Amino acid sequence: MTRPSSRSAARASAPTFSPLYRQIKEFLINSLKEGEWGPGDAIPSEGELASRFNVSQGTVRKAIDEMAAENLLVRRQGKGTFVATHDDPRSFYRFLRLVPDGGRPTQAVSDPFYCETVESTPEVAGVLGLRAGEKVVLVKRLLRFNGEPVVFDQIYLLAELFQGLTLNALRGKERSLYSLFETDYGVRMIHAEEHLRAVAADAESAGLLGVAAGEPLLLVERTAYTYGNKPVEWRRGLYCTRRHHYRNDLG
């Protein structure tokens, strides 16, 4: 058995260092997480932040540039830098990528019809970092485009973060669910990952979407995360693509 050389051992055990701007970025994210600046608030200027952290403005600018690219912050010409918010109409299609064939995106209308606290299945618990049987809030809703049901969502939320959420609170709102979660519960969805595949419509989804049982649907499974890369929502969306398609801009 050969022993690693002292040089190899030193290389393997050497600590890793984060660039200074990344450290500033982590400080800023922590401030967002702790509520120092809320959604829609202006953050201090680059000069003020540079003085606060005793670094150059260029270092702060690089941290802010990266946070803006990740939709954590929004730069507004001549006004400053603000915490991104789901109340901004421009953020509506950030996660919803379904558009009509040959047409421009139209505003979807949310039609929730079920909201109950239930025990998590092993699958749901695994995604949300829970133990099987721990409580989650299950929301079922339809998304309608021009009155037509196009998406059937089953949304699982961490019960500890959404206590008191009711069907009545979800109904009659013009804002998105993510805006409601942000404003009423202080939970902001920072980023999400999705898995897409084709499935056959079962009896429930066929009835809700007005398609035949067995007709192909697009299944979009989305896990949404808040600050600290904490998963707080898992949704299974069944998309009817007879007159719509899923669009994702790559660049």
Q: What's the half-sphere exposure (Cβ side, CA atoms, 13 Å) at 61?
A: 4
CB count in 10 Å sphere of residue 226: 20
89-246: same fold as 8-83?
no
- Looking at residue 120, its pLDDT comes to 97
Phi, psi of 60 (to 5 degrees): -65, -45
Q: Is 74 helix (H, G, I), strand (E, B) or coil?
A: strand
Amino acid letter, residue 1: M
Under a CB-based contact definition with an 8 Å cutoff, are residues 204 and 118 in contact? no
- How far is 189 from 186, CA to CA, in rounded Å? 10
CB count in 10 Å sphere of residue 108: 18
| Nearest Cα residue to 25 out of 74, 63, 54 | 63
**Which residue ranges make up each domain of the chain?**
8-83, 89-246
pLDDT per residue, tens digit, the chain (251 aa), is 444 444 444 344 444 567 898 999 999 988 988 889 888 899 999 999 999 999 999 999 999 999 888 888 889 888 899 988 877 655 544 567 778 887 666 778 899 999 999 999 999 999 999 999 999 999 999 999 888 999 999 999 999 999 999 999 998 767 788 889 998 999 999 899 999 999 999 999 999 999 999 999 999 999 999 988 999 999 999 999 998 888 877 65
- Looking at residue 64, its pLDDT comes to 92
Tell me if the pTM is above 0.85: no
- Looking at residue 133, its pLDDT comes to 96
Top-tier CATH class for 89-246? alpha beta
Q: Which two tokens stand for residue 143?
A: 């998304």
- Looking at residue 39, its pLDDT comes to 85
- Looking at residue 107, its pLDDT comes to 75
- Looking at residue 97, its pLDDT comes to 72
Evaluate the CA torsion angle 223, 224, 229, 231 in order and state its sign. negative
- Looking at residue 235, its pLDDT comes to 96
Top-tier CATH class for 8-83? mainly alpha
142-175 core/surface letters (b: 16 or more CB in 10 A; e: else)? bbebeeebbbbbbbbbbbebbeebeeeebeeeee
- Looking at residue 127, its pLDDT comes to 97
